[in-house]
C-alpha cells in the first residue's frame, strides 16, 4: 500500500510557496484516503543557527499551519522530528552509506553554504542523509514536494539502492517524488528568476501565511510584471517569468489548470488581473491565517498534538530501525 511522507522546516514563517507547493497538496493527499505522515523537521532547521525561542515558536506555528490548512491530526500522523529519535538514528547509518561526492553535488548545500563552505555546519552538509532517513524510516513510497526538493529525493533513492545492494537485501523502497500541480515552483514577487523563500531578506518578495488582507493586496500590487497583457495560451508565458508566476499562483489557488485560467483571463492587463488574483488569495488564505492565530492561543494543545503524533510515528519507525540494525550487524 502507498505510504506518503513529507516534511517542512520550522525555520521561519510559512510562505505561499510552502502552501501551494506542499501543504495544500498534503491536504489533498490526506483527502484521497492514503496513509499520510507529516513532519516538522526541527533537526533540519538547526543546520543553520536558530534562536531557541524562535524555533519553538516556529514549530508550533507550523503545526498550527498544517491544521489550519486542513491536516487532521487523527487521520494524518503529525509530529516534530526531534521527538522521534529513530530519524537521527537511521541518519547515522545513512551517513555511512552516502558518499562525500554525492553530497557535494547537492545544489541546496551549495546555495546555503555560499562562498564560504568551510564554515558551513557538518549538519548542513549531511542534511540529505537525514532527509533520506525521514522518508525511509517509514518505508514511505511517495513524497509530495516542490520542485526544489527533487534532487534530495533522487539522493534518497540512491541511498536506498546502495544500502539494499551493499547488504544484499531488498529492504528500503525506492521512493517516488510527487511534484504536481500549477505551483511546484512559486517564484519571488520581486524577481521572477528567484524562488519565493522564507529566507529572502525582502518581505515584499513573498506572501507569508500570516499576512493579512492588506499586506497581501499591497504585495501583489507591487509585484514585478511586464507591460504586456496576459496571453490566452500557456506558450505565451514562456519568456515572461513574472507573468507566468502570477498565473501559476492564481491557477493553484483556484484549483484550475493554467490553460483554463488563460482562456478566461487572456487579454487582461495586470492592472485588471492583479485585483482578481488578490481577491482569490485573500479568500483562500485569510481563513487559514485566522485559524492559525486562534490555534496559537493554545500552545499546550499544539504540544499535546505533536507528542501524540510522535508516539504514533515511533510505532511505525521503531520496528523498521530495529530491522535495519539487524541487517547491518548490530548485536541486539
Ligand atoms: P522546506 O521547508 O524548504 O519547504 C517545505 C516544502 O515547501 C516546498 N516549497 C516550495 N514549493 C513551491 N514553490 C516554492 N517557492 C517553495 N518553497 C518551498 C518545498 O519543496 C517543500 O516541499 N528539505 C525539505 C524538508 C524535508 C523534507 C524531508 C521534505 C526534510 N525531510 C523529507 C520531504 C521529505 C525542505 O527544506 O523543505
Report pLDDT for 162: 98
Report pLDDT for 116: 87
Distance 14 CA to ligand 1 centre (A): 11
CATH of the domain at 286: 1.10.240.10
Annotated binding residues for L-tryptophan: 134
Question: Cell 501565511 belongs to which residue?
Answer: 209
State pLDDT tens for residues 284-323: 999 999 999 999 999 999 999 999 999 999 999 999 999 9
Which positions are annotated as active-site residues? 112, 195, 198
Identify whether residues 157 and 32 lie together within a single domain.
Answer: yes
Identify whether residues 108 and 214 lie together within a single domain.
Answer: no
Distance 227 CA to ligand 1 centre (A): 32
CB 13 within 8 A of CB 208: yes
Ligand 1 binding site (Cβ under 6 Å of any ligand atom)? 5-9, 17-18, 21-22, 41, 44, 131, 134-135, 143, 145-146, 148-149, 152, 183-186, 195-196
Report pLDDT for 118: 92
Q: How far is CA 76 from CA 9, 197, 292, in A?
A: 18, 26, 18
State pLDDT tens for residues 239-293: 999 999 999 999 999 999 999 999 999 999 999 999 999 999 999 999 999 999 9
Q: What is the mean pLDDT of each run of 10 residues along the chain (332 residues)?
A: 97 96 98 97 97 98 98 98 98 98 94 90 97 99 98 98 98 98 97 94 97 98 97 96 98 98 97 98 98 98 98 98 98 94
Question: Cell 538514528 belongs to which residue?
Answer: 89
What grid cell was written down for 300? 499546550
Give the structural domain span for 267.
Answer: 203-294
CA atoms within 13 A on the CB side of 249: 34
Identify whether residues 214 and 153 lie together within a single domain.
Answer: no
In a domain? residue 191: no
ipTM above 0.95, yes or no: yes
Identify whether residues 253 and 154 lie together within a single domain.
Answer: no
Share of the chain above pLDDT 70, in %: 100
Q: How many domains does the chain have?
A: 2
Q: How far apart are CA 127 and CA 169, in angstroms?
A: 25
CATH of the domain at 78: 3.40.50.620
CB 93 within 8 A of CB 160: no
Nearest CA to ligand 1 atom 37: 8
Amino acid at each position: 500500500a502507498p505510504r506518503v511522507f513529507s516534511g517542512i522546516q520550522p525555520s521561519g514563517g510559512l510562505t505561499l510557496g510552502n502552501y501551494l507547493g506542499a501543504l495544500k497538496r498534503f491536504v489533498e493527499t490526506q483527502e484521497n484516503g492514503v496513509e499520510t505522515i507529516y513532519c516538522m523537521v526541527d533537526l533540519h532547521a538547526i543546520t543553520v543557527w536558530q534562536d531557541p525561542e524562535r524555533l519553538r515558536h516556529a514549530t508550533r506555528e507550523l503545526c498550527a499551519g498544517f491544521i489550519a490548512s486542513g491536516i487532521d491530526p487523527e487521520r494524518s500522523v503529525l509530529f516534530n522530528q526531534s521527538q522521534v529519535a529513530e530519524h537521527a538514528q537511521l541518519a547515522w547509518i545513512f551517513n555511512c552509506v552516502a558518499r562525500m561526492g554525492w553530497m557535494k553535488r547537492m545544489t541546496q548545500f551549495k546555495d546555503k553554504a555560499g562562498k564560504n563552505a568551510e564554515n558551513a555546519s557538518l549538519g548542513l552538509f549531511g542534511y540529505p542523509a537525514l532527509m533520506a532517513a525521514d522518508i525511509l524510516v517509514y518505508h514511505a513510497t511517495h513524497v509530495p514536494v516542490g520542485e526544489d526538493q527533487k534532487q534530495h529525493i533522487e539522493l534518497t533513492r540512491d541511498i536506498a539502492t546502495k544500502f539494499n545492494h551493499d547488504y544484499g537485501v531488498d529492504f528500503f523502497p525506492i521512493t517516488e517524488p510527487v511534484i504536481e500541480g500549477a505551483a511546484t515552483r512559486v517564484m519571488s514577487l520581486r524577481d521572477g528568476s528567484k524562488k519565493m523563500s522564507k529566507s529572502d531578506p525582502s518581505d515584499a518578495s513573498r506572501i507569508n501565511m500570516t499576512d493579512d488582507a492588506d499586506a497581501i493586496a499591497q504585495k501583489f500590487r507591487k509585484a514585478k510584471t511586464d507591460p504586456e497583457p496576459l496571453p490566452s495560451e500557456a506558450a505565451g508565458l514562456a519568456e515572461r517569468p513574472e507573468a507566468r508566476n502570477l498565473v501559476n499562483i492564481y491557477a493553484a489557488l483556484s484549483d484550475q489548470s493554467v490553460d483554463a485560467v488563460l482562456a478566461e483571463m487572456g487579454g487582461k492587463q495586470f492592472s485588471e488581473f492583479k485585483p482578481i488574483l488578490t481577491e482569490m488569495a485573500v479568500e483562500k488564505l485569510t481563513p487559514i491565517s485566522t485559524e492559525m492565530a486562534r490555534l496559537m492561543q493554545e500552545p499546550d494543545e499544539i504540544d499535546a498534538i505533536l507528542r501524540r503524533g510522535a508516539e504514533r510515528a515511533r510505532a511505525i519507525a521503531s520496528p523498521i530501525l530495529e530491522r535495519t540494525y539487524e541487517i547491518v550487524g548490530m548485536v541486539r
